[in-house]
Structure formats: structure tokens, C-alpha cells
A and B are shown apart, each in its own frame.
Chain A
């Protein structure tokens, strides 16, 4: 087929073919690349340029959409027999039969049009939209289309037949009777003067009123209001079948709320449901259970994990307050998932929100913290130990003690840190166990904490170490830690034992290694009384360099 001779004289078919080819290429590019991609950008420019020769010859181009072809002036300007790949079929299958593009379409509308075409490809068959509904929403000014006669269905209702028309004479009489009746009455019942003289125009204040109401209409949380309305109906209507339908609707709705990222309304719904459960009359136990289960479901570990994953992947831009609102609704059962997820999240807004949420639940529900601590082998153990310490959660102390007994070295170390942060007598009592831990790091951390706290109950154990043989097997750092802790805990009572180690006499003189003597000097430094300083001053000229340095450091109040 060829274009009609008069048109093809000014606009060769080849140019229209080129335009359509560019259009189809652009559609694919827009589908595959984001707008900031150079390929997308090039396709957009090429598409805009392809219109130039068209507009030099005409103001409008009208394409007929056949099944797999596009036709212009009787000439096929595009053909792709494979339907899934055919641009024309994409339009045709939803009913488009004619597509008109007018000058100006190349500016922005053609891109929006192709965007709609691409979006339609992703729609499910039973989606609420199709090509026609989406194109309509775009409200194009330079692009129009005709669809297969969608309005052909249905028929006009048949007007009711009036009573049979009376004979003319009777009609005349009836009219005159009514006119006479009217004349006899006071001034006409339908006189315009009876109405407000400004009835036909809104006054400026009324215009403002409508404008404000419209603004309010589009500023309100319409979905939230609809959800609250549903709960309102649930609360007020006692009919079992109505309540059953509402519960069913809510059960379907809630996952969708989360799925669509509407966290604000998910939180709102949970709050409203709690209110309703609190005051709804004659509520069937089954309905109550199901609604409570709905609330509880949000806090199931698997769902919380999904939620956190969605928050992590979706980003929080503009949704921080909504996410925070939903996280505030979490129940104790969410804690395990929260603390499991927390270590994976880098510093930032999301981490802060999760921490706030986990802290709230842990503070309000220490039993849940203890439950998780009972399983030091679990994924959540590290997070919960850290949280307990951060919150100085006294009720968690027994659990942390348990971790200290059964946890991995890393976990035991974390438990020491947590117990140190809590620092209650109970916590410090558990820390004593750390002194005998098989792991050096745990012992070191434990003894330092006990020393810093001057925890006298640990004196016996610390003294046993510093005065015993095992101290000689320790590296210098650990030795120093134990001796300094001893000094801090023992106080003046420790002067004499330390003096004996620093300045051994008799047979002992050769048996006490210089490192131990040096550590004894540090312990005396920690005791810090004049008597202890006196002992140190006597040793200030010791022949052993290590001892001499340690003594001097102790006198200056330094422990290195």
C-alpha cells in the first residue's frame, strides 16, 4: 500500500516510517533504561528530532492501529507480525484503533505516552487499569486516540409510559384551571425574587470556602480515614455476618498495607483496632481472637524481618515518621528479629529507628530479653546482649550471667561489657566469674571492670591470682590489669603484700620476677596512700630497669 498521492507529495511515507521506527526504539529504550541513563537521553533526543520533518509538512499525523501494523494514509508504516513484540499490538489489544499526534507532542507528551504503553505491559489481566484508563489520566493536549466503541454496550433505560394524554379540550381546561389557581394565590411560588438574588454565582467567600474544602479533601489521609471508618462500622454493628466480613477484609488488607509500604496507615489501623477491641460490645470470641492475632502477626519474627528488609531496601526518604510510627506498634515477640537485624544495619536513620524500637520493647518487656538471653547460641544473642548493656537493663543481669557461663568467647566478652555498663551489685557479682574465664580477653575485661569499680567482693579471687603462681604465666598486660585491680580493690590492706613483692627479702628476693615486682609497684600506685607512696619512693632507685620504670610511673600516677 502507498500513501495518498496528494499527501505523499509533501510528506514522503519514508519519513513517517522513520518516525515510527524511532518511536518504537524509544519505547524500548525507555523500558530498559532510567531517565538519567545516556541511552534514554539519546532515544529521547532522536525521537524529538524525528518529528521535525513531519511538522515541516503537516500539523498532525494520524495513525490507524491495525492488529500488528500501524497505517498512515493507507500505507503500512510499521509491521511486526510477532504479537508479543509488536508495538501496534500493544495498543490494539486494549482497544486503540486510531492514534493522532499533533505538533507539540514531541515536547513532553510523547514520552509520557510511551511511559504509559510500557506501564500497561506490566499490568495483570485483572488490574484496575488498562491502556485507555491510564491514557485518560494523562490528559494529553497534543495526542488523541480513538478506541473500539466501548460505549456500544448497554442500552438507554426505557422511560415510563405516562398516563394516556387526555383529549385537547380537557388539556385546555386543565391548563386554564391551573393558571386560574395560580392567579388566585399570592405571588408565584417559583418567582426568582423568592430566591437569593446572588443564587447563580458563588460569592467570593463561598468560592474560598469551596477552594479550602477541596484543598482539605486532597490533604487529608483519605485511606486512613477509610480504614478508621471500617473499624468504626465494626465497632458499632453487632451483626455477626457484617463483623465476619470486616474481619475477613482486614485480614486481607493488613499484609497489603505493609506490602505497599503504607506504614502510617498500618500503624493507624492497629491502634484503631485496639481501641475497638477495648470497647466493642458483644464481640464474638472468635472475632476478638482473629483481630488480636492480626495485631500479633505484625510482630512475628518472619514478618518483622520482612518489614525490616523492606525498610532497608526501600530507603526511608520521606517515610521516616511513618516507619517510626509502625515500629512503635511492635510487640515483645518482635524483639528477637529486631536485635538480630540490628547489627547488619549501618549507622543512620534506620539504625536509629530500630534501636529506638528495640529499646522500647526491651525496657517494657525484660522477660522477653531474658528469654532471648537463654539461647546464647541464637542469632539474636549478640544484639540482645549489646542492647541490655546499652539500656543498663538490670533485669537482664541473670541472663547475661547465663551468657557468661555458656556463650561463645565473643558473646562472653560482650556480656562483660554489658554487665559492666549495668554495674549493679548483681552485675558485678556475675563479673567475678569472668576472672576465671578460659579466654584471656574475657578475664582482662572482667578484672578491669572489677578494679575500676573497686568491687570488694572480688578481692579474694583477685588476690588469689596476684599472689598465686598462675600470674606468672600471664602476659604483662593481664598481669598489670590484675595487680591494678588488686590495688584498687584492696586499698591500704594491700600495701604489705605488695611491698613484699616489690622489695622481697631473703630467699624470695631472687624468686620474684621483675615483671611481678613492676606490677606490684603499679598496684601500690593504685592504692595511692602516703604509706604506699613511701614504699614506692624507697624502690625508686631499684637496679632493675623494668621495676624502676614501673615505680616511677606509679609515683606519677601512670600505669604504662
Chain B
């Protein structure tokens, strides 16, 4: 811990709060791995006690509260950062699994009390069965101990559901606005009208807000496939994927905006490509391909022509130019001046590659399944993508990204809704059943199921394979929106 008080206001509280959560999770993990008397465990308990005491002395209170994807310490939201996000997500998953909504620590909480609390948490979390309410059991077991300085509050499911519904609505509005603004910019530029950067900015800011507040709802919308609106939805999707990845990489809010703006405008050069080529359904001639491959540098011209120098979206210029260049610069367009692909270009390349490959569009009539695309992006170096960024994308979407249609070992067909919040089960996503084992269709939004749910000794359901939703008459987005 640094400093003796929390002078320095919120930043200091955030720092101390983060330290507390990290030592809390470290103590939990060490107690899980080693016997109590092990020095590592003892040291972890000492640190936990010290961190809690420090906060209590400085703040007079210590409350940890969960809300959506966020953890608040004493009403202050902690920022997710690159060096702690794994521990945070583990802790978040643990508290969720146990149904804990808030944890209040009173002054006087002793080291032995911490040891008991962690022991009870471990025992209940380790239980495989789904019997009973874990939260109730947790409270009952703690009541039988000497722990008197810690109180718990259950997660309020109703609030969560209402929040989720509200978040979905906001996400839909955000997405719709993103598409509307992109359409306005693209169509405007085609007829030589000056684009309103203000409106583009607002749209990107909304996307950043939504990703920060509830990225799952927005990521779900990227599964929406509209052949006719591809140009616009693709830009919005790439923006969403890029911002969500940027968040995982620890980018600050204003940096997420820079990235989001660049991502939204990455294909702007297509406004200078004839629609007859862009929309050509049949196979493209060699010269037509070459024309389409001009869109990165056409994007540079389009962006320079949009506004004055003071408002030049310079990062967007670079991303528009570089997003097909590949990390070894063997892609297109060719450049003379020495350059290395910027981080944002590498992020947008991955987001662009994923969304384009998983979508049916004019010159790709058969979309590829999302898991296959991720696999190819990760394993095939000739794609020229940055492997660390691809890892970040997999980290974001899971092996089975939202919208993937899967066949389960129960002979049910389901649509992946999102990554399992428990990082232990990232290969067991949350799904929505779309077709039951008898072949009966389950109307949208389907039945929500976690593939980490157990049934006796094993899992209740497992993925057998990924399949083409079209074969089963399923539109994945129907189950996610």
C-alpha cells in the first residue's frame, strides 16, 4: 500500500480500492492452493488485513459493491486496467457465482475473521452441484462463525434484469444512431456534402459509453446481419469490436474515443468507389478487385477533404490507410515512406477482418462461422494480423463468439449469447436454446442456459460442434436482441 491516508481524493481511493481487491483475491487464491499454515497464505492474509485496515482508517467505511460489469469501492467505480483485469474478472465471477451483491466491512475486522470468511467462500464456491441458494448458505454458515465485522447483501436479480433490459434498449439506440450517422456521412460524401464531425463524435462517444457500461449488449448487436446495410453496419461493428478490445487493453476513455472514431471511419474510402462495383453480387473482375483495393488510400483523400486541418482526424487517416497493410506491410496499399503499423491500425485490422469474414456481403455470399474466423486469424500468420491483438479479440469474444450457432450433446441447437463470466469456463459460453432436442423451435429470445451448469458429476450440456444457423432456419440476432 502506498501512503498513509487517502489524501488525493478519488484517485487515491481508487488506488487503495484496487489494492484491496487484488490482495483479497490473492489471499483467496493462495488459500485455495496452499494449506493455511503455508507462509504464502499467511503473508497474503497479513496484506489483506493491512489493506482493509488502511481503507477503514482513511475512509471510515469499506464497502465493495457489484453493479453490472463494475466493482465499486465506497461508491467509487474502479477502473479496469491492463495489469489487473484478470484478477478483477476472477473476483467478479466469484462474487457473482456466490450471489453476492455487496460486502461491507466494519472497523475492527480482524485477521482471523478474514481467514474464516475466505475459508467459507472457498468451501461454497468449490461445490459442484447447483442445489440450493449459495448466497443463503453462505450467510448461514458465516452466522455460525465468529465473524461479526462483515455483512453481505445479495445480488438483486430483479434490478439486474431491469438494468439488463434498460442496457439493451440503450445499446439498440446507440447502435441505431451509429448506423444512421455512418449512413449520413457515407451518403453525404458520395454527393459531395460536408460531413458533420460533431454527429460522428457523438455517435462514437455513445458507443464508448455503452462499451464501458455494458459491452455485452452492444456486442450482441454486432450479430445483426443486414445485407443491404452492410457498409454501415460493418463500420459500426468494427467500431464496437475495436473499442471493446481497446477497453480490454486498458485504454483510457479518451483513447477509446480516438480508436472508435478511427474504426468507424476506416472504410470511408469506399465512398469513392463506384457503387456498381461495391454492390456487384457476381464475381469481381481483376480490375474491379483492384478498384476495391484502392479504398484505403481513397480513404486518406476523403478524410483530408472532410474538414479543416484543426479538425483533421489524423489517426483515422492512418487507420483508413493501413488497415489492409498487414503487419509485415505485404498487404495493400503499397507505401513508399517508411512506416510501422500503429496500434490502432492493428486493432482495427483484426476487428475488420473478423466482422467482414463472418458477414454475408456483396462479394462474399457465404459467411464463415465466427469460431472458424478467429481460429484462422490466430493460427494463420499469412493473414498478417498482430497475434497479441487477435488474442485480445479471442479474449473479448471467447472461442465461441456471440451469435455462433452450436449443436449441443443434448441434440439441442443454441445460439451463443456471450462469454461465461466465470473465466474457468470460457469454453462454456452462455447460450440461448433455439431448437429443442425434439426438433421443436424455441421462439426468440430462446431459453438462456449456461454451459457451465452441472448435472451430477458432469456438465448438463456441452458443445459438439458449430453449425450453420441457416441450415436450421435460425437468425442468431433474433435471440440476442
Which A residues are closer than 8 A to B by beta carbons? 104, 107, 126-130, 132-133, 136-137, 139, 141, 149-172, 174-176, 178-179, 182, 188-192, 194-196, 199-202, 206-207, 209-211, 213-214, 216-218, 220, 222-223, 225-226, 228-233, 235-237, 242, 245-246, 248-249, 252-253, 256-257, 260, 262, 272
Contact = CB atoms under 8 A, between A and B. Distances in A.
B249 A210 contact: yes
A237 B272 CA distance: 14
B465 A229 contact: no
A249 B307 CA distance: 10
Contacts of B301: 230, 233, 242, 245-246, 249
Interface residues of B, number: 110
Contacts of B257: 136-137
Given A160-B226, A226-B318, A199 B388 contact: no
Given A136-B205, A202-B82, A232-B337, A171 B439 contact: yes
Nearest to B419: A200
Contacts of B339: 225, 229
B465 A128 contact: no
A233 B317 CA distance: 12
Interface of B is mostly: helix
A246 B417 CA distance: 46
24 contacts: A136-B257, A151-B174, A159-B224, A159-B478, A168-B438, A168-B440, A171-B413, A175-B412, A178-B464, A178-B467, A179-B409, A182-B465, A190-B466, A191-B427, A200-B394, A200-B423, A201-B86, A202-B392, A213-B342, A222-B314, A230-B300, A233-B300, A242-B297, A248-B305
A169 B304 contact: no
Nearest to A135: B205
A192 B342 contact: no
Given A156-B179, A171-B413, 13 more contacts: A129-B198, A129-B201, A154-B181, A160-B227, A168-B438, A175-B472, A188-B464, A214-B343, A216-B343, A222-B318, A226-B317, A229-B300, A229-B335
Interface in B443-477: 463-467, 469-475, 477
A276 B470 CA distance: 52
A162 B473 contact: yes
Given A141-B10, A230-B300, A233-B300, A152 B400 contact: no
Given A176-B411, A225-B339, A202 B395 contact: yes
Interface of B: 9-10, 76, 82-83, 86, 170, 172-181, 183, 194, 196-198, 201-202, 205-206, 209, 221, 224-229, 232-233, 249-251, 253-255, 257, 297-298, 300-301, 304-305, 307-312, 314-315, 317-318, 321, 333-337, 339, 342-344, 346, 360, 371, 375, 378, 388, 391-392, 394-395, 399-400, 407, 409, 411-413, 423, 426-427, 435, 437-441, 463-467, 469-475, 477-478, 481
B283 to A, nearest CB: 21
Contacts of A161: 475
Contacts of B9: 104, 107
B399 to A, nearest CB: 6
B438 A172 contact: yes
B473 A166 contact: yes
B388 A159 contact: no
B179 A157 contact: yes
A166 B412 CA distance: 15
A151 B467 CA distance: 35
Contact of B255 (A168, A179, A214, A231): A214
Contacts of A149: 173
Nearest to B478: A159
A169 B439 contact: yes
Contacts of A210: 82, 249-250, 343, 388, 392
B10 A104 contact: yes
B11 to A, nearest CB: 10
Contacts of A245: 301, 305
A174 B86 contact: no
Contacts of A137: 254, 257
Nearest to B471: A174
Contacts of A141: 10, 76
B407 A163 contact: no
Contacts of B333: 233, 236
Nearest to B426: A200
A210 B259 CA distance: 14
B388 A172 contact: no
Contacts of A242: 297-298, 301
* Residue from B176, B183, B334 with most neighbouring chain A CB atoms (10 Å): B176
A154 B180 contact: yes
Contact of B202 (A107, A127, A133): A133
A220 to B, nearest CB: 7
Contact of B465 (A178, A195, A206, A233): A178
Nearest to A242: B301
Contacts of B206: 150-151
Nearest to B206: A151
Contacts of B392: 202, 210
Contacts of A196: 391
Given A200-B426, A226-B318, A130 B394 contact: no
* Interface-central residue, B86, B257, B423, B427, by most chain A CB under 10 Å: B427
A199 B395 contact: yes
Nearest to B227: A160
Given A159-B477, A230-B304, A151 B395 contact: no
Max chain B CB contacts within 10 Å: which of A128, A166, A242? A128
A127 B198 contact: yes
B66 to A, nearest CB: 19
B201 A214 contact: no
Contacts of B336: 232, 235-236
Contacts of B426: 192, 200
Contact of A175 (B310, B400, B411): B411
Given A160-B226, A168-B439, A222-B318, A195 B472 contact: no
Given A132-B202, A152-B173, A200-B426, A163 B82 contact: no
Contact of B175 (A156, A207, A213, A235): A156
A157 B439 contact: no
Nearest to B396: A200
A190 B371 contact: yes
Contacts of B337: 228-229, 231-232, 272
Given A188-B465, A195-B399, A154 B318 contact: no
A166 B253 CA distance: 47
Contacts of A256: 308-310
B206 to A, nearest CB: 6
A166 B251 CA distance: 46
A220 B342 contact: yes
Contact of B176 (A151, A182, A202, A225): A151
Contact of A179 (B174, B304, B411): B411
